[in-house]
């Protein structure tokens, strides 16, 4: 297991059993600062080069919050440009990661904290946690959510969340498609670990190609997306040992031995 911490100690990264775990470590609410955002971007950007990491797990330390957003002082006129640039770097790093990125909402995810979760591929949440974009109450709006939410839930539901600033619980977020699964508080860590280690048990290059095919579909017309998914399948997936091994293992009723894992 490899562990590392940011210079300020507010971003912690640990790699073990195929999972890179990056934790926001500024309890009790894991409020983000501009420095933290830059360090988060740097930590995420190293994941694709980590040959031991198949999955990236993003979570927060402590039971109260995944992340309550960006420090209000960093929104002031003398700091806001630097903060927005740092936030964009962190979001771009998450969106551009080649490995699957899973957010584990161990507590509330508000404002910029929820925007970070929206940028992840899969969101898991503890039962009953609150999520939302309350920025409108401070006279601003969430720029990342303004782009991502309509793509995830449609224009009307996105506007409802952004314009009212209302909080919703994990169960409603799941109904909207913003959360993939919710787990009870007393087994949350165990269930999250089981989920991400299940992903890490798959072939590393196949995970990356599957994610790329899904992303390609979201960025193209239907016809273009289908052609690109076919191309990835035939030219890249079928060139891997693991694709043939997985099919053979299924037919031979045995567990696959991933060589490219």
Tell me how far apart the alpha carbons of residues 141 and 242 are, in angstroms, rounded to a whole number: 45
123 sits in which H/E element:
strand 122-126
At 112, phi and psi to the nearest 5? Answer: -60, -25
Using an 8 Å Cβ cutoff, are 58 and 101 in contact?
yes
Active-site residue (options: 135, 171, 235, 245)? 135
- First-residue to last-residue Cα distance in the chain: 17
Show contacts of 194-199: CB within 8 Å, 24+ apart: 195/102, 195/124, 196/19, 196/55, 196/57, 196/102, 197/17, 197/18, 197/19, 199/54, 199/55, 199/100, 199/102
236 is catalytic: no
Q: For the beta carbon of residue 239, count every other beta carbon within 10 angstroms.
A: 10
Q: Which two tokens stand for residue 11?
A: 């971003």
Does residue 115 have an active-site annotation?
A: yes
Give how far the C-alpha of residue 58 lies from the chain's centroid of Cα atoms, to the nearest Å: 6
Task: Please check whether residue 12 is in contact with residue 18, taking contact to mean a CB–CB distance below 8 angstroms.
Answer: no
The angle subtended at Cα 16 by Cα 174 and Cα 33, nearest 5°, is 60
Check 35, 82, 115, 235 and give the catalytic one. 115
Residues catalogued as catalytic: 115, 135
């Amino acid at each position: 297991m490899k562990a590392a911490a940011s210079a300020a100690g507010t971003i912690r990264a640990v790699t073990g059993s195929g999972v890179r775990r990056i934790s926001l470590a500024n309890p009790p609410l894991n409020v983000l600062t501009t420095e933290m955002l830059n360090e988060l971007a740097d930590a995420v950007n190293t994941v694709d080069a980590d040959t031991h990491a198949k999955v990236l797990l993003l979570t927060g330390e402590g039971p109260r919050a995944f992340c309550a957003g960006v420090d209000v002082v960093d929104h002031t006129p003398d700091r806001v440009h630097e903060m927005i640039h740092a936030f964009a770097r962190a979001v771009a790093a998450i969106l551009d990661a080649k490995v699957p990125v899973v957010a584990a909402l161990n507590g509330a995810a508000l404002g910029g904290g929820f925007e970070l979760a929206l940028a992840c591929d899969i969101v898991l949440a503890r039962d009953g946690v609150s999520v939302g974009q309350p920025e409108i109450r401070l006279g601003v709006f969430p720029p990342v959510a303004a782009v991502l939410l309509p793509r995830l839930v449609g224009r009307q539901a996105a506007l409802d969340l952004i314009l009212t600033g209302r909080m919703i619980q994990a169960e409603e977020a799941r109904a909207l498609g913003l959360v993939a699964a919710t787990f009870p508080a007393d087994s949350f860590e165990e269930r999250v670990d089981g989920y991400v280690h299940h992903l890490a048990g798959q072939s590393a290059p196949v995970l990356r190609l599957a994610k790329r095919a899904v992303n390609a579909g979201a960025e193209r017309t239907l016809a273009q997306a289908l052609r690109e998914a076919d191309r990835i399948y035939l030219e890249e997936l079928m060139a891997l040992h693991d694709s043939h091994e997985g099919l053979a293992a299924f037919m031979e009723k045995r567990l696959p031995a991933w060589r490219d894992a």
